[in-house]
Amino acid sequence: MAKLDKRRINFVKSLPIDVRAQVLYEFLKKGTSNRNIERILNELAEEDGWQAWAVIHFYGFDGDSKAKYPTLTLKRIRDSLLNVNVEELEEFHLAPSEAKPSSNITLTESDGKDVFRTIKARQGQYKLRKVLLHNYESKCAMCNITDPKLLITSHIKTWSKSSAEERVNPSNSILLCRLHDGLFEHGFISLTDDYNVLYSPNFDFEGQGLTKNLTFTLPISDPPLPAFLKAHRVKHGYE
């Protein structure tokens, strides 16, 4: 998903809510091209489609959403827009990109129940990352890496098996660097309920230049819950 810069964000915010709703309606329901949307709507100037593009991307949609909401009404879009927190969206766009793009969100967009689920899910992840950076004091729980570009929100219970609440529950995630996220995601390391690190016999730690002397640093809040840790151990054959 494209992130908007400050200039484009300000442009979108300068548009009346009705115009933003019409742009989304044309694109999401009717599949009108960005350039044609600019021709149809008097409030937009013709700028090779980028004005329409900015509105669409500001709300978290992209080309994949084109004409994907056949049952959408203009009223529903307008009502939804009134409930979107623009400041949070702006913060989301201006935040540095997630180190690991979350391509694994599955959506059934065509039912149109909540057209803003995509952006809400992304915002939820962004907020979760902020909470984890705070809880783990911006440091990998398994080593001393502190560069935010190398730190990842690592899910404990498998994303696809987690409920919507579990996905954004800070106790179901650990702040890890890219290396330790990789080891944890593949199950090469896991954790006991007492936060002792477990090492998979299926991974050659020494051969990869890694020593088995990791200690888990507890977060100042929302430590991983035993139920989630158990799910990770079971999935990766530790029990």
> Taking the complex as a whole, how short is the minimal distance between the CB of residue 233 and Zn ion, in angstroms?
20
Q: Would you list the DSSP string of 138-192? A: TS-SSS----GGGEEEEESS-GGGS-HHHHT-GGGEEEEEHHHHHHHHTTSEEE-
> Taking the complex as a whole, how short is the minimal distance between the CB of residue 145 and Zn ion, in angstroms?
5
Q: Residue 77 or 177: which CB sits closer to Zn ion?
A: 177
Alpha helix (H) residue ranges in 43-94:
50-58, 74-83, 86-94
Residues touching Zn ion, count (CB under 5 A) = 6
Report yes or no: 142 and 180 within 8 Å, Cβ to Cβ. yes
> Taking the complex as a whole, how short is the minimal distance between the CB of residue 146 and Zn ion, in angstroms?
10
Q: Residue 51 or 154: which CB sits closer to Zn ion?
A: 154
> Taking the complex as a whole, how short is the minimal distance between the CB of residue 177 and Zn ion, in angstroms?
3
Q: Is 232 helix (H, G, I), strand (E, B) or coil?
A: helix
- Cα→Cα distances 110→7, 64, 154, 237, Å: 32, 12, 29, 37
> Taking the complex as a whole, how short is the minimal distance between the CB of residue 131 and Zn ion, in angstroms?
19
Distance CA 134, CA 155 (A): 16
- Interface with Zn ion includes 197 (CB under 5 A)? no
Which residues lie below 8 Å from residue 147, measured CB to CB, with a gap of 6+? none
Q: Residue 69 or 184: which CB sits closer to Zn ion?
A: 184
Please give the residues from 110 up to 149 whose contact with Zn ion meets the rule CB under 5 A: 140, 142-143, 145
> Taking the complex as a whole, how short is the minimal distance between the CB of residue 134 and Zn ion, in angstroms?
18
> Taking the complex as a whole, how short is the minimal distance between the CB of residue 219 and Zn ion, in angstroms?
14
Distance CA 28, CA 32 (A): 8
Q: Residue 9 or 176: which CB sits closer to Zn ion?
A: 176
x/- mask, Zn ion, residues 144-173, rule CB under 5 A, reads -x----------------------------
Q: Residue 174 or 177: which CB sits closer to Zn ion?
A: 177
- Cα→Cα distances 21→4, 44, 50, 118, 150, Å: 18, 13, 16, 17, 38
Of these, 4, 15, 37, 177, which contacts Zn ion (CB under 5 A)? 177
- Residue 104, both tokens: 């694994």
Q: Residue 140 or 229: which CB sits closer to Zn ion?
A: 140
Which residues lie below 8 Å from residue 87, measured CB to CB, with a gap of 6+? none
Of these, 180, 232, 233, 236, which contacts Zn ion (CB under 5 A)? 180
What number of helices (H) and strands (E) belong to the chain?
Answer: 10, 4
What residues line the site for Zn ion (CB under 5 A)? Answer: 140, 142-143, 145, 177, 180
